[in-house]
């Protein structure tokens, strides 16, 4: 599928050139907080032109995001992220001429012989945007608790580079395999790897546990990419037409739908989600919790009543509450020592 984009009064339009040259215009809103691209609907060009002429500029729109950073105040988590830098960047994969890196936050006093738990976190962006910096505060926080904190870079979906959502999933799985293969040099316990992610990054996180046949040809499949726990923030969990990502993934959507791949043995999971989320619909997360419980898996769903997509990134107190509840969860399953500074 080929795309051409233009900005018009703070609204991004994408012309879809699929289907034998027929033109359809997709109205896309850019969510500033989580970086997601939200497909609203198809409309004829003439109708959309009339609509856009009548609309005021959207706050946090694509134009504002790309053309005038001064207009957009940073949200709570982005404000923290702007002050942070990783201790090092470790290349975990080269694919299609692109080098992909782990942005690493080491805990104080890390020694070569250490076997520390690892907190790997993956940014969102609808698989089409975002960057590792978005999740630096999460990686840095858990590094302060004695873990090796890592924010992941992965390929972004683009028709020009022929990158699909399947490739994003492959990168997440490759990263966990790299951590296990190089655990000794990274100071990581290969049996204490937590994978976390927000929105589309949450999808990639859970994909390390569920999408068994979606692997890069260069991966050593003898090394497991299943994490020891999952921490998911408002994740893409259902890629059917009732969820998110159906159009982006296409006919093979069910291969990448976590809701449709649950089985016994999924790692302990905690999900933070707003009941008012219409981007990654709350109903999908509820259904995921139900099938996880039915399969005998441990899952906790922390609901923010009325919370919209990305709610915990706006508010410093909600962000800190999320971290605290994550600490309690990880302590309960033996992946965080209760004596760690700030835990519990």
3-state secondary structure of 48: helix
d(CA 325, CA 258): 23
pLDDT tens digits, 122-139: 999 999 999 999 999 999
pTM of the complete model beyond 0.75:
yes
Mean pLDDT (whole number) for 275-293: 98
Q: Is the domain of 153 the same as that of 292?
A: yes
C-alpha angle with apex 157: 175 to 34, nearest 5 degrees?
80
And the tokens for 200?
């589309």
Is 342 a domain residue?
no
And the tokens for 68?
């005038």
Q: Is the domain of 294 the same as that of 317?
A: yes
And the tokens for 134?
């978005």
Higher-pLDDT residue of 190, 33: 190
Q: Which residue has the tokens 């508010």?
A: 315
Residue 30: pLDDT band with limits 50, 70, 90: very low
Range of the domain at 38: 3-70
Mean pLDDT (whole number) for 97-110: 97
pLDDT tens digits, 311-320: 999 999 999 9
Q: What percent of the chain has pLDDT over 90?
A: 74
Contacts of 254 (CB under 8 A, 6+ apart): 239, 240, 260
**pLDDT at residue 37 greater than cutoff 70:** no
Q: What is the pLDDT of residue 72?
A: 65
Burial of 302 per CB tally in 10 Å (0-12, 13-18, 19+): middle
Name the domain boundary from 70, 103, 123.
70
Mean pLDDT (whole number) for 204-223: 97
Q: Is the domain of 193 the same as that of 287?
A: yes
């Amino acid at each position: 599928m080929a795309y051409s984009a233009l900005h018009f009064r703070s609204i991004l339009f994408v012309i879809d050139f699929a289907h034998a040259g027929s033109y359809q215009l997709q109205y896309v809103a850019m969510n500033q907080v989580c970086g997601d691209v939200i497909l609203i609907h198809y409309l004829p060009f003439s109708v959309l032109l009339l609509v856009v002429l009548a609309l005021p500029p959207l706050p946090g729109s694509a134009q504002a995001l790309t053309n005038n950073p001064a207009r957009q105040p940073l949200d709570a988590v982005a404000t923290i992220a702007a002050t942070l830098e990783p201790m090092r960047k470790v290349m975990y994969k080269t694919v299609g001429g692109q080098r992909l890196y782990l942005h690493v936050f080491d805990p104080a006093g890390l020694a070569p012989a250490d076997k520390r738990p690892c907190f790997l976190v993956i940014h969102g962006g609808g698989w089409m945007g975002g960057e590792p910096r978005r999740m630096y505060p999460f990686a840095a926080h858990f590094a302060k608790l004695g873990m090796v904190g890592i924010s992941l870079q992965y390929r972004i979906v683009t028709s020009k580079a022929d990158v699909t959502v399947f490739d994003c999933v492959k990168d997440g799985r490759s990263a966990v395999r790299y951590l296990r293969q190089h655990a000794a040099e990274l100071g990581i316990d290969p049996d204490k790897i937590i994978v976390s992610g927000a929105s589309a990054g949450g999808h990639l996180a859970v994909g390390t546990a569920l999408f068994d046949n979606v692997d890069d040809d260069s991966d050593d499949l003898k090394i497991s990419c299943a994490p020891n726990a999952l921490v998911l923030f408002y994740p893409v969990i259902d890629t059917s037409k009732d969820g998110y990502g159906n159009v982006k993934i296409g006919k093979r959507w069910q291969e990448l739908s976590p809701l449709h791949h649950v089985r016994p043995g999924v790692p302990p999971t905690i999900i933070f989600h707003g009941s008012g989320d219409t981007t990654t619909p709350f109903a999908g997360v509820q259904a995921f919790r139900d099938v996880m419980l039915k399969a005998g898996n441990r899952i906790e769903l922390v609901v923010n009543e009325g919370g919209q997509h990305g709610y915990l990134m706006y508010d410093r107190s909600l962000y800190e509450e999320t971290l605290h509840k994550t600490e309690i969860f990880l302590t309960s399953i033996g992946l965080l020592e209760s004596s760690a500074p700030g835990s519990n």
